[in-house]
Each structure stands twice: as C-alpha cells, then as structure tokens.
Structure 1
Amino acid sequence: MNISPSPLTDTGKALLRLNLIAIALLWLYPLLTYSQLPETVPTHFGAGGEPDRFGSREELLILPAVFSIAPAIILIITKLRFTLINRYPQFINLPAFYMNIGKIREERRSYWVNRYFEPVLLLSLILSAGFLGMEYAIFHATLSGELPLLFYIILIFVIAAPLFIFFLYLSMISAQMSREIGE
C-alpha cells in the first residue's frame, strides 16, 4: 500500500514549530548563562543533591547536544514519515494504525498518517520542555552548589508524563479512526 504524502494538519504544524523553538531554547539557555558560571562547576551530583564531581564549565555545554538528540530524531522521522511508512513500515510500529489504514478511503490515509504523528510531535515537545527544565536545574545547581527539588520532579515528569500523554493521545486518535471506518 502506498500512501500519498500530504502536509501536516494545523495542529501538527503548530507542534512542529513549538518543537523547533524548544530545541532552540535548549541551546540558547546554556549559551546565555554560560558567562555567569564560575570556571570550575559541579558536574555530577549524588542522590542527595550534593556535588560529588567538579569540572570545567565547558563540560556543561554537552547538555544541549545530548538533550537535542531525541527531539531532533523525532523531527527527522516526522519529515520522512511518508517515506518510512511506504518503504519501511516495520520502522513505524503502530498496530492500531496498520490494522485500520487499509479500511480507510485512499484519499484520507495521508490525513491519518499526519494525525498519528501529532502525538509523536507532542511527545518530542514534552521531552524538550522537560530537558529544558533539567538544564535549568543543573545550571542553577552549579551556582548554588546543590540540585533543587525541582530537578527530581522534572526528572520524574520527563520519564512518566510523556509516555502517559503519548499513549492517551494515540488511543484517542485510534478511536477517531475506528469511528471513521464504522467500527
């Protein structure tokens, strides 16, 4: 089955733009605060939030690079979504999508591909926001000498919330698709 490409929905386009802004902020924040950091900063914190390793402030510049990897990969996959679905469907593992896409009228299939990528873009945005919060907490900790409680809250949020929201959104879209095909 070959699905003709079509542009993202308005929601998808907005999520894409917000993702680009979030990735830019992941880089902008450290660059703007870098000059405020002392030459030697805590680079690792123990479970109690106390620093247990110190290093050069340049080491902190790896954070935006590391935190940008997952969102950037998601944006690339989104850009290549139709190529991946048409040529390598095994890479896009969405069982509910593949069970139902053949039942959708051909002219509506690209719409549903785009709808299924909305939660993927939302996941990326939530991850980026969480990473930005972690970045803030880490930079704050380098100045104060201990990780704030905010870091641990964000860490839990970055792990749990994106997955919960992703699967909830995916479930909602699957239900809408099922209604369209009359199941």
Structure 2
Amino acid sequence: MTKKPILKIHPTPLDRCIDGISFLLLLTLLGTTFYYYNQLPETIPTHFNASGQPDAFGAKSSIFLFTGIAVFIYVLLLVFKDKPHLYNYPTTITEENALEHYSKATKMMRFLNLATILIFFYLQYQTIQTALGTSEGLGSYFTVIILLVSLLPLLFLLPTKKKQITSK
C-alpha cells in the first residue's frame, strides 16, 4: 500500500461561503430548538414513515437528542474535511494529482456537511411544527428531496472520473 501525500488544502472563497452557510444553519438549528422547546407539548413526533407522517412519539426532551446528533455529525465532517489523505479514492493518489483530488474531495465534504445540516434543520423544524399542530408531517415529497440532496455532493467527483475514463 502506497502512502498518500499529506497536503494542506487552502479553502477558496466558495469553500468559505459553504462553511459559513453550514455554520449559520447549525446555529439556526440550535436557536430554533431552544426557542420552541417551552412551547412544545410533552409528547412530540420522534419518527416519520416514508410518506412523511409521524408514526412514533416520545418526550419533548428527545428534541435535544436529534440536535446533538446533528452537531456531532457536523463536527465529525468538519474535522475529517481537512484530512483528505485519509479518504479512499478510485485512482492512485500521487504527488502530481494529489492537489486536484484533495481539493475536489474537501469541496465534496463541505457540500456533504451543508446537505446534512440542511436535512437535519428541515427534519427538526418539521418535527416542531408537527408537534405544535401547524403541520401534518414532513410532506409527500420528503423522501425524494432527501435522496436528491444526499446524492448532490457526489456530483463533484463524477466529472473527474468521467474525464479519466474518456482519456484512456
């Protein structure tokens, strides 16, 4: 097994913007949770089925577990975003191609973090709204939207792989 080069990838203005939006969205998630907590009934939805309808309920304090998971995933992705030499790649990483692959991989991780926080924010907000009686669930297109948002970060790697295949 060859050792991958370790490089420091400097963020572009777009990278900083994505990181900033992710952080602000995380703060909004935290703020929303604390703002609505006292208004919530003692029992709130804790799970939704594939149609977006609540199908399990629990104590209102469970809202903090969900928020904690979101914060944990955010921090985990934030830490590993700066360690692209630990990722698996479909090609061999060399000194010559490391910067290109690492830059795209860290950008993908940034978008993955943004997509994850966006999904958690939406789930949390809809859980709160459903508990307060202003919404009846996640909505009928929730599953499709989540799949699309989750797969979006992968689009950053596809053009690179396609270019390599066609150039052989």
Which TM bucket (shorter chain)? Answer: 0.7 to 0.9
Query: 1:76 maps to what in 2?
Result: 79
Aligned with 1:53 (options 41, 57, 60): 57
What are the Cα deviations for residues 53-86 of structure 1, in whole angstroms up to 9, with x where unaligned?
343x22222221112222221111013x15xx1x
Flag structure 1 segments of 5+ consecutive residues without an equivalent: none
Which ranges of structure 2 fall in alignment gaps of 5 or more residues?
none
Aligned counterpart in structure 1 of residue 141 of structure 2, from 149, 153, 164: 153
Q: 1:119: how far off?
A: 1.3
Instruction: Sort the Cα spacing of 1:111 and 1:94 in 2 relative to 1 into closer, same or farther, 3 A.
Output: closer
Give TM-score scaled by structure 1 length. Answer: 0.71
RMSD between aligned residues: 3.0
1:126 counterpart = 2:115: yes
Q: Distance in 2 between matches of 1:4 and 1:50?
A: 46
Deviation of the 1:26 alpha carbon:
2.1
CA deviation profile, 1:35-70 (whole Å, cap 9, x unmatched): 2223x1224456473565343x22222221112222
Determine if the alignment matches structure 1 residue 14 to structure 2 residue 17: yes
Report the equivalent of 2:6.
Answer: 3
User: What is the SS of the residue equivalent to 1:172?
Assistant: helix
- Distance change in 2, residues 1:93/1:145 (3 Å): same
| Residues 1:148 and 1:18: Cα distance change in structure 2 (over 3 Å) | same
Q: Number of aligned pairs?
A: 162
* Higher helix proportion: 1
Find the aligned partners of 1:46 and 1:166 in 2 and give their Cα distance: 25
